[in-house]
Amino acid sequence: MNSSSIAALRHITLALLVFAAPLSYAISPNPQAQAPPPAQHPKSTPQNKSAEPKPPTPDEELQQTIDNAANDRAALVRNLEAFLKKYPEARQRAQIYRALVEASLQLRDNARASEYAERIVALTPEDMSMTLLSIQLLERNGDEAGLRRAANYSSRVLAYVDANSGDKSPKVSQAEWDTDKKRDRTTVLLLRGRLYLKLHEIPNAQKDFEESYNLLPSAGAAEKLAEIAELQKDMPRAIVQYARAFALADDTNATVNRREIRKKLGNVWRLAHGSDDGLGEYLLRTYDEISVPPPSASAQIKRNDKVTDVYGFTLRRAPAGQPLALADQKAKVLVVSFWATWCGPCRALEPLFERVALNFNQNHDVVFLAADCDEDEALVPAYLEEVKPRTTVVFADGLDRLLAINSYPTVVVIDRTGKISYRADGYAEDSFEQSLTTAIHQALTPGAAPPTPTAIAIPNAVPGHANLPIGSVK
């Protein structure tokens, strides 16, 4: 399979649970078709009497069948089915089946659409888009035999996803490719799990839902796991899964209903606890647990963990990670802005901070750093590509911990001796540049007038809470 084939699968999996847009087909009314000319009555001759009309070819008959239906989809279905009855092995039957699927969907005749979709799958098993549509139609309308066929089709799609693991387009990064494949697999596992559940094969369904959730947590998988737990009278487990489903649900997913999940959760909570007391607090705790993304590999390492002096720190330049030793900046004035990608005030502060830095561009005794404090460092490259800051950007690497930075933005000036001579948690837009400039001159020339306190503007600081929705500010 090539990359275009797997790309087609990716587009289909996004719409698994709603009917696909009408499928295009290579059969359409002949735009040149016109009403037949008025009948002619030539003079009778022996030659005319003996001439026999030439029968139409199957291709001509098919085109006439389509032309006769015009734009009437019901007539098209009748005409095409009559053609197939006459020519069951017609060479165009794959295109005819496709036309019948589209017309049947438009007529809301899902049973007929399912029949012809499965015929296409039988002719072209590698057609994953039609296979997925067949699964969807059988899930909605199939009997037990149809559901079993749909489960088999789902296994075929999973095998297809796994078999295409190495067929990556050079335009797609490996990380994006891996994420897409994981999303494909979780979607099909969830689909097959629902089929197993309808077939009352609970262990198989539970296995698929658990694998789907573990690969990529979703409200759909969590809700189904909760329903299974409820059927098994395991109320504590049902509460956990319903709470996860409620926290993960959103209005963009038409397959889950947060209001319905809330009703189910409330019911099992009352069965377990006798009232709704404590449910709100439990939901908030669940939301906090699942909304924090797992830290990146680099974030799991506590850098500079034992260092207690500013000049003992070695930071990493963002995004590539080249080392920057602060020991090399001794006897200089360090001006550090602590920020995060999700922090709106940080973005607003950046141009003000850069203007101050520009004023000291020729003074090599002043070093400006923008220290990123994101838990997930993978967010930083895209942000830098968008914003393109002109100051040196580094990862905080524990410097925020040493200086007890707990809100963003925070700007700190460290004098030539390594002591903090100025700190602003947040900023006052009208006075920030003047206050920071004054503070830097004070650090360069001890004994100068101290900076005005108006630079400290707590209302414009954002608390550095671990549970804030990382990446929510664009």
* Catalytic residue set: 343, 346
In angstroms, rounded to a whole number, what is the distance separating the alpha carbons of residues 319 and 372?
Answer: 10
370 and 389 Cβ atoms separated by less than 8 Å: yes
In whole angstroms, how far apart are CA 266 and each of 259, 274, 287? 11, 10, 16
CA–CA distance, 375 with 471 (Å, rounded to integer): 11
Angle 343-346-348 from CA coordinates, rounded to 5°: 115
Task: Tell me if 193 sits within 8 A of 208, measured CB to CB.
Answer: yes
- Whether omega for the bond prior to residue 409 falls within 30 degrees of 0, making it cis, is yes
State the first-to-last Cα distance of the chain, in angstroms, to the nearest integer: 37
Asked whether 178 and 378 are in contact (CB, 8 A), the reply is: no
- Residue 20 makes CB contacts below 8 A (sequence gap 6+) with 12, 105, 129, 133
Q: Is 123 helix (H, G, I), strand (E, B) or coil?
A: helix
Q: 314, 325 in Cβ contact below 8 A? A: yes
Cross-strand partners of 167: none
Query: What's the one-letter identity of residue 217?
Result: P
Which run of H or E residues covers position 7?
A: helix 3-13
d(CA 23, CA 179) in angstroms, rounded, equals 27
DSSP code string of 393-440: EEE-TTHHHHTT--EESEEEEE-TTS-EEEEEES--TTTHHHHHHHHH
Give how far Cα 201 sits from Cα of 135, 148, 151, 233, 372, Å: 17, 11, 11, 17, 50
**Tokens linked to 71:** 């734009």
* Cα within 13 Å of Cα(59), Cβ side: 2
Gap between the Cα atoms of 432 and 426, Å rounded = 9
Measured CA to CA, the distance from residue 139 to residue 125 in angstroms comes to 19
Tokens of 306: 């034992």
Report the 10 Å Cβ neighbour count for 158.
17
